[in-house]
């Protein structure tokens, strides 16, 4: 009788263990969401990994500044041309005043005039300084700017070959220190104000001459730029 009782006890134990295993499997299946095995395996594997922290995407600023201008200032960015395919640009308060996209920039000196009080552009023109007699019209254009105007000037290609002395005098009268140093294909940018004073800390002018040994492009110097913030009219 004892061997029979021992065998029956083993059978009962096996049946009980099987039921427990089946019930455990059933509970596990109910608790785990319905997902592919590979996804579940990835989730288990990723538990031991450190979370990857991603820096937030920087907010774009006016005229592509790195840092925002104060609300009581105008943002500006001037970019000279550089090489045949890199045209000059003038940006003011995040508005492109002159550029290839607008089709209003060309070889020579490109000028945009802005009303300082309203911040609105009043005129834009380009003056070819390699061919034609355009120094006279450019001088008149500069002198026609109304009081309390901002003038932005950038070169693309050559801005000096046919630049005469009267034009140089008109630009020099606005505060330029480099206009008489312009050479063939010099990259040049300049900010001027008529009827008001700009803060002394603002960079107003920059120039880069063509140099066969140091040119970024074949026969062309690198483009240059200046950017900043101009205080708005408080009157």
Are 155 and 205 within 8 A, CB to CB? no
Q: How far is CA 231 from the centre of its chain?
A: 21
d(CA 104, CA 123): 11
Are 88 and 154 within 8 A, CB to CB? yes
Domain locations in the chain? Answer: 4-49, 62-231
The sign of the CA dihedral 27, 32, 34, 39 is: negative
**Average pLDDT of adjacent 10-residue blocks, the chain of 235 residues:** 54 59 55 50 55 65 93 96 89 97 96 97 98 97 97 96 97 97 94 96 92 72 92 87
What is the C-alpha radius of gyration for the chain, rounded to an integer number of angstroms? 36
Does this model's pTM top 0.85? My answer is no
In the prediction, which pLDDT does 5 show?
Answer: 52
Are 182 and 153 within 8 A, CB to CB? no
Q: How far is CA 144 from the centre of its chain?
A: 32
In the prediction, which pLDDT does 111 show?
Answer: 98
In the prediction, which pLDDT does 85 show?
Answer: 82
């Amino acid at each position: 009788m004892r061997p029979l009782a021992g065998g029956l006890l083993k059978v009962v134990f096996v049946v009980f263990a099987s039921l427990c295993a089946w019930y455990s499997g059933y509970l596990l299946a109910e608790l785990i969401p319905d997902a592919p095995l590979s996804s579940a395996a990835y989730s288990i594997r990723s538990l031991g990994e450190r979370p990857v922290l991603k820096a937030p995407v920087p907010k774009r600023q006016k005229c592509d500044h790195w840092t925002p201008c104060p609300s009581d200032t105008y943002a500006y960015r001037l970019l000279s041309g550089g090489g045949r395919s890199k045209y000059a640009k003038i940006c003011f308060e995040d508005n492109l005043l002159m550029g290839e996209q607008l089709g209003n920039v060309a070889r020579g000196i490109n000028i945009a005039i802005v009303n300082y009080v309203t911040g609105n552009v009043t005129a834009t023109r380009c003056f070819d300084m390699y061919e034609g007699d355009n120094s006279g019209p450019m001088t008149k254009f500069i002198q026609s700017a109304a009081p309390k105007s901002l003038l932005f000037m950038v070169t693309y290609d050559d801005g000096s070959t046919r630049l005469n002395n009267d034009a140089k005098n008109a630009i020099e009268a606005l505060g330029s220190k480099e206009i008489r140093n312009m050479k063939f294909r010099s990259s040049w940018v300049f900010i001027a104000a008529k009827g008001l004073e700009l803060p002394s800390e603002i960079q107003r002018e920059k120039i880069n001459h063509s140099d066969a040994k140091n040119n970024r492009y074949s026969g062309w110097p690198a483009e240059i730029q200046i950017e900043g913030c101009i205080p708005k009219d408080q009157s």
